[in-house]
Chains A and B, each alone.
Chain A
Amino acid sequence: MVAMPALDQDVLARRAEIVAALRGIVPGEGVIDSEVGMRPYESDGLTAYRQLPMVVVLPETTEQVSRVLRYCHEHGVKVVPRGSGTSLSGGALPLGDGVLLGLSKFNRVLEIDYANRVAVVQPGVTNLGVSNAVANEGFYYAPDPSSQIACSIGGNVAENSGGVHCLKYGMTTNNILGVEMVLIDGEIVRIGGKHLDSGGYDLLALVCGSEGPLGVVTEITVRILKKPETARAVLVGFPTSEQAGDCVARIIGAGIIPGGMEMMDRPAIHAAEAFVHAGYPLDVEALLIVELDGPEAEVDHLLDRVSEIAQSCGSTVLRASTSEEERLKFWAGRKAAFPAVGRIAPDYYCMDGTIPRAKLPLVLARMRELSEQYGLQVANVFHAGDGNLHPLILYDANKADELERAEKFGADILRLCVEVGGVLTGEHGVGVEKRDLMPVMFSETDLNQQQRVKCAFDAQGLLNPGKVFPTLHRCAELGRMHVHGGNVPFPDIPRF
């Protein structure tokens, strides 16, 4: 387990005073300090980690967020922002000596502007809520993480969430234009707007995917798109995962970017089929779901080409959806893969590395070896188009040392991802979970530069500390320059 920063006893001793001050800012039930009331906030989607916060605050206005943060800044109190609490990496894990700042009451769609194809929403609106708000006019919001019924758009910004369609339509960072954000000292800034790109530094690029340590987002301007006229999915089964991987590479190599392209391995196929009866073939080692969207003529044309490629790669099953109902059924299995795996084991641990796709056979083979070594089963679902792997490690938390073994197994998988040229996390975030693995991918210099960015926003380190970075440095220490005056060796850089 990853260790969180030691509790600040001085802050805890002032708890009653802090709670009273917060009540003065957010009235009524917006401040929760009873154990039973705070219990629902003790963890997010990474349920292996639990911690009651010092106090929960649920503000309703930007002004309240600003005053809460200003108070915390002046009094040295840590703050953890939280959306819907669906993070799979512990991004919203509370701190025992910190305020848990929930944005759930920021749940309104403020403006829909079809002429400019944008919507302005509050951060507590669910991802699906954004799409639903514009569905009547045939529009939608493109990023669609599997948790879209529950996860909030504010959380999506913090985590730069993806989804099965981000191969073609991009992740959150590619689909938002502006935010209103409150800094730790209470200052309210607006970044971007309804226009494209930035006039100065691209702060939106930093905020999106930062995991909550730079500021608290209180309003978001998102791009909305017209829904494609048609979408069809095709199920393709292969005797080996190598063939499936080859097929994915050849589809993209042929210049086709499908709306979605997902892969499941045998254990995942079996679990999903048993759970939702999507009609998946059970006698294959790898299953691809390839979705093509656009005008009907284009979809039909591309479906033919994908089918030809699949057959030339040795597919043994090939079935295209012939109705919207059937297409949704194909997806139902994939979208329910996590809970489906949850049915065949008491607990599962979901990983999120990304690899260069060509390394897939190697990574799967090594994973099988690790599975034997640790004595734990693993099922794989895979955003095949962009190389984002979700191995689900099956374990039983009630058995001695199984969680620890699962964590070690997971860490080995992520090290493997980095070793083959990939990264620790494709869309779930570093959070608490992968914090201590950051040095596998980044040098101390790399990490120090990232922390200096954090310092530019929050020099006291009060916003969501203990996440993302394995070693917390004081900002003053990071800011120091180490110049060895006079004696720097640069004898032979060509000069003109």
Chain B
Amino acid sequence: MTDILKPRDEQDVAEAVARALAEEKTLEIVGQGSKRAIGRAAQTDMTLDLSKLSGIEIYEPEELILSARAGTPIAEIEKALAKNEQELAFEPMDCAPLLGGKPGRGTLGGMIAVNLSGPRRIKAGAMRDFALGVRAVSGRGEQFKAGGRVVKNVTGYDLPKFLAGSWGTLAVITQATIKVVPRGEAVETVLVLGLDDTRAVEAMSVAMGSSCEVSGAVHLPVDVARQLSIIPIASAGKSVTALRLEGIPVSIAYRKDKLQKLLAPFGELGKLGPRDSRNFWRAMRDAAPFAGETQNPVWRVSTSPSEAPRVAAAIRASAKAEIFFDWAGGLLWVRMPGKAAEEWAVRSALAGRGHALLMRADPAVRASAQVFEPLEPGMAAISKRLKESFDPKGILNPGRMYAGI
């Protein structure tokens, strides 16, 4: 059985890593384990469970910052923010609908480690854009800090942003400071019905290129729209292209009017009120259309919006996948019809113009696929040297992203 270490503080973490180093053991780093099923299937000798390293340490709404220990549940952070009408702008996804398990799990450390951002990414930025400071233990067993607790800082290399999206392969984050923002007072959604992928991306481009401050832009082809439990979407019987407006009501009213005028030439318009909007955008954040049937592999593909219809068509042509578009086309969620990852279909369609992450697949499938975007030789060499600079013995989440990293 794998040993599980449950450190109570940063000192414990440093000692656990030092011990692993001394004994030449590898460590899997987990918070609540909500994203454990993502990544290459790798074997580790011990598990470093950070769930006891929990608690908000500083929350200053007027400074727009929050510091917490790495194992603090995201749910606890979001609750504290909501009391002050604030939020995490980048909408961290709840992986439960996609991967199974109880909803509402996930920790601050895990959220930073994966850098997965929701629909508001296109307006507000990615998770990493909100990472201001970290305390961490490197694979050398050394406690270090980087960044700070203020939003504007260029002192030293931006390791907080660099560690975001490193999937625990470089250092064990023990504490982090993030930027938080005021929550939009109100939300509404403008819909355009019946567009094909190409027209939908054009419509979303017009919306994003306007001054309407659209904070979410997704396109659901009819086969995907039908599967949602939100009535106005599921019952449309057509593809649905949705644009989110947030802010103060007087501003939304004006922008909605303007956006409807811009989109009217594209097709039939519809709308979602505040309650349906909230449910709908949460469902998009969590890739809920592809919930259930967890044996069907799901890919998360980032490309430029104007490439998206071509990429989607190419994937469908070779793999009969279901696809929907977030980030105004810049993010494709792809569900495969069978158990196979159909990696070739995805990567050859993308042809290097972006990156694809196998978000969901059985361990056996993940073991035989490249889960993360393969790196060009030059980038692979730098990545390997960076890994070694933090974790020379390769003991932290080894192989989670790439073999040898």
Contacts and interface: CB of A to CB of B under 8 A. Distances in A.
Interface of A: 113-118, 138-139, 159-160, 162, 166-167, 170-171, 173-174, 183, 187-191, 193-203, 205-206, 208-210, 226-229, 249-250, 252-253, 255-257, 294-298, 301-302, 354-358, 383, 386-388, 421-430, 434, 438, 441-443, 445-450, 452-457, 468, 479, 481, 483-486, 488-490, 493-496
A468 B152 contact: no
Contacts of B151: 167, 354, 386-387
A493 B14 CA distance: 11
B354 interface: yes
A450 B142 CA distance: 13
Contacts of A229: 211
Given A205-B128, A301-B248, A456 B85 contact: no
Contact of A481 (B16, B143, B393): B393
Interface in B44-72: 49, 52, 60-65
Counting chain A CB atoms within 10 Å of each CB, which of B4, B16, B126, B386 scores highest? Answer: B386
Contacts of B62: 249-250, 252-253, 357-358
Contacts of A495: 3-6
Contacts, number: 303
A359 B210 CA distance: 39
Contact of B157 (A159, A206, A425): A206
A168 to B, nearest CB: 10
A228 B355 CA distance: 32
B399 interface: no
Nearest to B142: A445
Contact of A115 (B125, B305, B353, B388): B305
B306 A116 contact: yes
A188 B379 CA distance: 10
Contacts of B356: 199
Given A257-B182, A495-B6, A226 B63 contact: no
Interface stretch (B28-36, B102-110, B250-258, B336-344): B250-258
B7 interface: yes
Interface string B104-142: 000000000001010001100110110000000010111
A131 B6 CA distance: 52
Contacts of B401: 200
Contacts of A191: 379
B404 interface: no
A481 B138 CA distance: 12
Nearest to B306: A115
Nearest to A246: B62
Interface string B279-292: 00000000000000
Contacts of B185: 255
Contacts of B232: none
B63 A356 contact: yes
Given A425-B154, A495-B6, A194 B144 contact: no
Nearest to B327: A196
Interface in B146-185: 146, 148-159, 161-162, 164-166, 170, 181-183, 185
B250 A301 contact: yes
13 contacts: A114-B209, A115-B305, A116-B304, A159-B154, A199-B373, A201-B383, A205-B161, A297-B253, A356-B63, A387-B151, A453-B159, A493-B15, A495-B3
Given A196-B126, A206-B162, A386 B152 contact: yes
A175 B185 CA distance: 26
Contacts of B170: 201
Contacts of A481: 21, 140, 392-393
8 A-B pairs with least C-beta separation? A199-B355, A199-B373, A255-B182, A205-B161, A298-B251, A194-B304, A452-B389, A456-B385
Nearest to B374: A199
B16 A196 contact: no
B150 A426 contact: yes
Q: DSSP majority for the B interface?
A: mixed
A488 B373 CA distance: 38
B21 to A, nearest CB: 5
Interface of B: 3-8, 12, 15-16, 18-19, 21-22, 49, 52, 60-65, 85-86, 115, 117, 121-122, 125-126, 128-129, 138, 140-146, 148-159, 161-162, 164-166, 170, 181-183, 185, 202, 205, 208-211, 213, 247-248, 250-251, 253-255, 258, 302-306, 327, 330-331, 353-357, 372-373, 375-376, 378-379, 382-383, 385-386, 388-390, 392-393, 401-402
Given A427-B152, A481-B140, A486-B22, A189 B382 contact: yes
Given A160-B158, A195-B354, A252-B64, A202 B164 contact: yes
A198 B355 contact: yes
Contact of A457 (B65, B155, B354, B382): B382
A201 B8 CA distance: 29
Contacts of A354: 148, 150-153
B219 to A, nearest CB: 15
A20 B160 CA distance: 43
A488 B18 contact: yes
A106 B160 CA distance: 31
A226 B122 CA distance: 13
Contacts of A493: 5-8, 12, 15-16
Contact of A450 (B159, B247, B382): B159
B158 to A, nearest CB: 5
A228 B213 CA distance: 9
A455 B138 CA distance: 16
B284 to A, nearest CB: 15
Given A195-B353, A200-B373, A456-B386, A297 B164 contact: no
Contacts of B382: 183, 189, 203, 456-457
A187 B152 CA distance: 32
A373 B382 CA distance: 49
B152 A166 contact: yes
B61 A253 contact: yes
Given A167-B151, A443-B144, 16 more contacts: A138-B211, A160-B154, A174-B129, A197-B128, A200-B373, A200-B379, A202-B164, A209-B154, A226-B209, A256-B182, A354-B153, A423-B155, A449-B142, A493-B12, A494-B52, A496-B6
Contacts of A423: 148, 150, 153, 155
A442 B157 CA distance: 12
A441 B404 CA distance: 34
